[in-house]
Amino acid sequence: MKRLIDFAVKNPVLITALLCVVFYFLPFKPKPFGDGQFHTGTQQLIEFIANGFQGNINIDKGFLTLFCYLIPYAIVYALHDDRLFFLSGVIFSCIFVCLSVFYLFKAFTILHFTDKAKFYVIVLMSLFPIHIYYAMGIIGEAFGFFASSMLIYFLSYTGIS
């Protein structure tokens, strides 16, 4: 049991990445493009930039999320394929989820959590992987999890916790 705890505590990002791969192939996920606002908004943002900052961008919510999806969408934009937009967005969201877990566990180390406490956290996060579920679509929750993890990390780092 000690070896399992040590492995889980030392590799929470690897566990999260493996869960992301497993979840990608499961039949249940959020709607691929959510309500479609981030998908179309990010495409409009790319066109706006490509046209010399001329044109319109329909922003109903989540302006910062458009910028989060700007990088993966820009990489595959020339191909204009919704499957590639979806895949690049999910990969990018999963990277952010892995970074979130990394900083969350760094905060736990700073806060002197025991290995057993860290193990329970990774077990709970693996049993109820809401953070991974919401990374499986073009929606803003993965970036919200990243922002929350960064807040916890910075508060623990500065000692304000």
Q: Is residue 52 part of a domain?
A: no
Q: Name the nearest CA neighbour of 81 among 132, 28, 32.
A: 32
Q: Is residue 72 part of a domain?
A: no
**What range does the domain containing 106 cover?**
2-40+81-158
- State the Cα–Cα distance between residues 46 and 79, nearest whole angstrom: 13
Instruction: Write out the two tokens for 142.
Output: 């993965």
Per-residue pLDDT for 161 more than 70? no
The number of folded domains in the chain is 1
Q: Is residue 66 part of a domain?
A: no
Q: What is the pLDDT of residue 38?
A: 86
Per-residue pLDDT for 66 more than 70? yes
pLDDT interval class at 150 (50, 70, 90): very high
- State the Cα–Cα distance between residues 7 and 26, nearest whole angstrom: 25
Q: Is residue 126 part of a domain?
A: yes
Q: Name the nearest CA neighbour of 105 among 120, 85, 87.
A: 120
Q: Is residue 68 part of a domain?
A: no
Q: What is the pLDDT of residue 71?
A: 94
Could you tell me the pTM of the whole model? 0.89
Q: Assess contact for 157 and 107: CB atoms under 8 A.
A: yes
pLDDT interval class at 64 (50, 70, 90): confident
